[in-house]
């Protein structure tokens, strides 16, 4: 009996020793010649911590092996010298000196082209789209067996509709004709969640394109094809949270990989405690560490392993695909010190990369608080160049829908711009009128085409980087409540659609009027130094008219913008604008091509924004 017991014990012990299974190493590969020579590999596999790792490759040093709470993980600290050459080498996992497993790691040559990562600036016009709702170019990936969501239902706002990367690639020429220079997609990485996986903000694999959109190789092809057509690419990244379906959420390296609470605690969604000098630590913790929603666990960004994982992942995507800029989701919910460190590291690797953060806050001061070098946060620089300028958006809505008062109506826009002194550089803010989380612009102005065109003219002549939401150019409408309707499919993006609004013939007369209005201004903007990089000078609104100028030091082809939000024609006496008009005698209406022989008095139609090139 004793002999049998010993034999059974030895069998079980042998089984345990041989049970190690290597499941993944992340990042899967890296590059030589990176600014930061340090790299931390996450190694995941059954009982992998029972093994010792070994690397023998010239120029690569295995500096330290970290074993953590979960025996299914190892973290390997590598140092890659400047002399290291591109090539493949084995990472060997040993037990008592005997090789049990190995992973063939590859170091690639870093891309040397200085123009590959172009950056996104005030010269650009961003087009935001949701890939699942834009165009379906490959029906074979509409449903992927084995994923948690296998329904394809275009009648529901919560299920997949089938849009993909191939569909977007097929519409690049459409975007270029419209006057777009930059594409921003909501996240395209894997979201293997049981419901509403289409929006992309609940990642389940940080190194994988969602197979319903395509593959890693196709994503890189998309970026390359966009670049070939003169279009830049922004990647939407999420530091704050992941999805509960994430592979490492269900087998976490350590308990504090995510923020833990005695009972489920949701964020307050209040940004004030982050900046309030009188705030309690309790309120600040709830804002920063509370989960966004139950299906989106909140990363513990104080954890150094988490920091390394997220930072390296973003560096990996940029170097792999040649991305031009990053949009940072839910920026105020992240740990400020980590985000500052993150920004420094990415700028060091990619000096031309552009970064802007989502800050849906309620004042200019609050927005400026999160931007780098602002005047409202002495002693702490976020290193964040720009933000999504929701306060400008609200001011434009007030200008279009409100009644003029001391700070209401058109004066709201004027006073908002007057506070630009709070930013280090307001030109790096992204200005917009709607997006995937809010009611569509056309609906918010009561489906009034004149108001719509007035607002779009302001957007495309304002300081900063303008962004429009997919379908705005064809007057797509709806409110954010009921949820999801603002994320409807672009008509014509699917085989069998009744209409194809990607084409002139598929659009109504009114839709073409809107499309042409945006296209004329957007394409004019491509050649206008004044609108791209010129300074802004504004004048106090008078008699319901708001006038501002975009101008250059040389005073060539300056642009005068006159906004009339009232219901009647106004006559504008331009004598008080002599500071900007002294060199000019005439103007051309950018939209109509009409020439104004004299600019001493200008007639401004009701609910119209005149965009005038000065001659």
> What pLDDT, in 10s, does the model give residues 165-180?
999 999 999 999 999 9
| Side-chain-facing half-sphere of 537: CA atoms under 13 Å | 14
Report pLDDT digits (tens) over 270-290. Answer: 999 999 999 999 999 999 999
Name the least confident of 15-24, 460-469, 472-481. 15-24
pLDDT tops 90 at residue 482: no
**Domain residue ranges of the chain, discontinuous segments joined by +:** 16-109, 126-252+324-390+429-531, 534-614
Q: Are 433 and 128 in contact (CB under 8 A)?
A: no
Rounded distance between C-alpha atoms, residue 269 and residue 500, angstroms: 39
Percent of the chain surpassing pLDDT 70: 97
Section 581-610 average pLDDT: 95
CA-atom Rg of the chain in angstroms: 27
Query: What does pTM read for this prediction?
Result: 0.95
d(CA 456, CA 519): 11
> CB neighbours (10 Å) of residue 480?
18
- Tell me which fold the domain 126-252+324-390+429-531 belongs to: TIM Barrel (3.20.20)
Q: Mean pLDDT check: name the lowest of 2-6, 104-108, 271-275, 302-306.
A: 2-6
Q: Is the pLDDT confidence value at 9 over 60?
A: no
Which pLDDT score, from 0 to 100, does residue 483 have?
Answer: 67
CA distance 320 to 29: 10
pLDDT level of residue 10 (50, 70, 90 thresholds): very low
pLDDT tens digits for range 318-377 = 999 999 999 999 999 999 999 999 999 999 999 999 999 999 999 999 999 999 998 899
pLDDT > 80? residue 6: no
Top CATH class, 16-109: mainly beta
State how far the Cα of 275 lies from the Cα of 273, in Å rounded to an integer: 5
Inter-residue contact 559 to 531 (CB < 8 Å):
yes
Categorize the per-residue pLDDT at 11 as very low, low, confident or very high, splitting at 50, 70 and 90: very low
Tens of pLDDT along 20-29? 889 999 999 9
pLDDT given at position 434: 98
Whether the Cβ atoms of residue 107 and residue 29 lie closer than 8 Å to each other? yes
- Rounded Cα–Cα distance for residues 385 and 430 (Å): 10
* Contact present, 431 and 464 (Cβ < 8 Å): yes
For the structural domain made of 534-614, what CATH number should be given? 2.60.40.1180
Angle at 608 between CA 606 and CA 613, to 5 degrees: 130
At CA 296, angle to CA 291 and CA 298, rounded to 5?
45
Q: Which residues contact 333 (CB under 8 A, 6 or more apart)?
A: 240, 267, 287, 288, 292, 298
Q: At a CB cut-off of 8 Å and minimum separation 6, what does 377 contact?
A: 275, 368, 369
Q: Is the per-residue pLDDT at 222 higher than 60?
A: yes
The tokens describing 98, both together, are 């005997």
Residue 344 neighbours by CB distance under 10 Å: 12
Between 250 and 15, where is the model more confident? Answer: 250
| pLDDT for the residue 13 | 41
> Residues 220-226: what's their mean pLDDT?
98
pLDDT bin (cut points 50, 70, 90) of residue 555 is confident
Q: What is the pLDDT of residues 69-127, one digit of tens each?
A: 999 999 999 999 999 999 999 999 999 989 999 999 999 999 877 779 999 999 999 99
Cis peptide leading into residue 27 (ω within 30°): yes
Mean pLDDT over the full length of the chain: 95
pLDDT confidence of residue 560: 98
What the block records as the tokens of 565 is 């939000």
* Nearest to 267, CA basis, from 237, 306, 303, 297: 297
Length of the chain: 615
Confidence class for position 33, pLDDT limits 50, 70, 90: very high
Residue 432's pLDDT band (boundaries 50, 70, 90)?
very high
Report the pLDDT value the prediction gives residue 301, as an integer from 0 to 100: 98
Residues noted as catalytic: 329, 358
Both tokens assigned to 477 = 């409408």
Q: Rounded to a whole number, what is the distance in angstroms from the first to the last CA of the chain? A: 105
Q: What is the pLDDT of residues 185-209, one digit of tens each?
A: 999 999 999 988 899 999 999 999 9
């Amino acid at each position: 009996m004793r002999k049998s017991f010993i034999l059974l014990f030895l069998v079980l012990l042998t089984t345990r020793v041989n049970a190690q299974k290597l499941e993944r190493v992340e990042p899967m590969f890296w590059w030589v010649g990176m600014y930061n020579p340090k790299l931390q590999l996450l190694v995941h596999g059954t009982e992998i911590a029972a093994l010792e790792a070994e690397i023998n490759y010239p120029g690569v040093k295995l500096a330290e092996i970290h074993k953590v709470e979960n025996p299914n993980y190892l973290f390997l600290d590598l140092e890659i010298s400047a002399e290291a050459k591109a090539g493949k080498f084995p990472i060997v996992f040993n037990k008592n000196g005997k090789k049990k497993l190995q992973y063939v790691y590859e170091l690639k040559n870093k891309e040397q082209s200085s123009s590959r990562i172009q950056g996104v600036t005030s010269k650009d016009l961003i087009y935001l789209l949701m890939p699942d709702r834009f165009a379906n170019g490959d029906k074979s990936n509409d449903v992927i067996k084995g994923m948690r969501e296998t329904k394809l239902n275009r009648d529901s706002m919560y299920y997949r509709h089938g849009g993909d990367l191939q569909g977007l690639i097929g519409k690049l020429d459409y975007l270029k004709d419209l006057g777009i220079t930059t594409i921003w997609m909501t996240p395209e990485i894997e979201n293997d969640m049981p419901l509403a996986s289409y929006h992309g903000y609940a990642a389940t694999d940080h190194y994988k394109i969602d197979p319903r959109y395509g593959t890693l190789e196709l994503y890189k092809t998309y970026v390359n094809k966009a670049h070939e057509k003169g279009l830049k690419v922004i990647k939407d990244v999420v530091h704050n949270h992941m999805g509960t379906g994430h592979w490492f959420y269900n087998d976490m390296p350590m308990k504090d990989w995510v923020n833990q609470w005695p009972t489920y605690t949701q964020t307050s969604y209040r940004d004030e405690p982050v900046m309030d000098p009188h705030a309690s630590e309790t309120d600040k913790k709830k804002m920063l560490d509370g989960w966004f929603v139950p299906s989106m666990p909140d990363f513990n960004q104080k954890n150094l392993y988490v920091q390394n994982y997220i930072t390296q992942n973003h560096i990996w995507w940029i170097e792999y695909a040649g991305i031009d800029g990053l949009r940072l989701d839910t920026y105020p919910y992240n740990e400020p010190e980590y985000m500052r460190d993150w920004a420094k590291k990415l700028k060091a690797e990619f000096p031309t990369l552009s970064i802007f953060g989502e800050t849906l806050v309620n004042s200019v001061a609050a927005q400026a608080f999160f931007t780098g070098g602002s005047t409202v946060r002495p002693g702490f620089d976020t290193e964040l160049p720009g933000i999504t300028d929701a306060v400008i958006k609200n001011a434009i809505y007030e200008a279009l829908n409100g009644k003029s008062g001391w700070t209401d109506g058109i004066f709201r826009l004027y006073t908002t711009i007057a506070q630009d002194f709070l930013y280090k550089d307001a030109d790096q803010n992204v200005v917009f009128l709607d997006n995937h989380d809010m009611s569509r612009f056309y609906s918010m102005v009561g489906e009034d085409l004149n108001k719509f065109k007035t607002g779009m003219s302001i957007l495309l002549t304002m300081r900063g980087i303008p962004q429009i939401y997919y379908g705005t150019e064809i007057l797509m409408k709806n409110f954010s409540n009921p949820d999801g309707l603002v994320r409807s499919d672009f008509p014509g993006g699917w085989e069998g659609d009744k209409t194809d609004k990607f084409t002139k013939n598929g659009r109504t007369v009114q839709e073409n009027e809107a499309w042409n209005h945006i296209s004329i201004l957007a394409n004019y903007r491509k050649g206008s130094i004044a609108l791209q990089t010129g300074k802004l000078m504004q004048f106090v609104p008078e008699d319901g008219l708001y006038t501002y100028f975009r101008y250059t030091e040389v005073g060539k082809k300056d642009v005068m913008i006159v906004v009339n939000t009232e219901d009647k024609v106004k006559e504008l006496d331009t004598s008080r604008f002599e500071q900007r008009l002294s060199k000019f005698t005439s103007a051309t209406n950018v939209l109509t091509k009409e020439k104004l022989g004299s600019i001493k008095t200008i007639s401004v139609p009701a609910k119209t924004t005149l965009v005038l090139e000065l001659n």
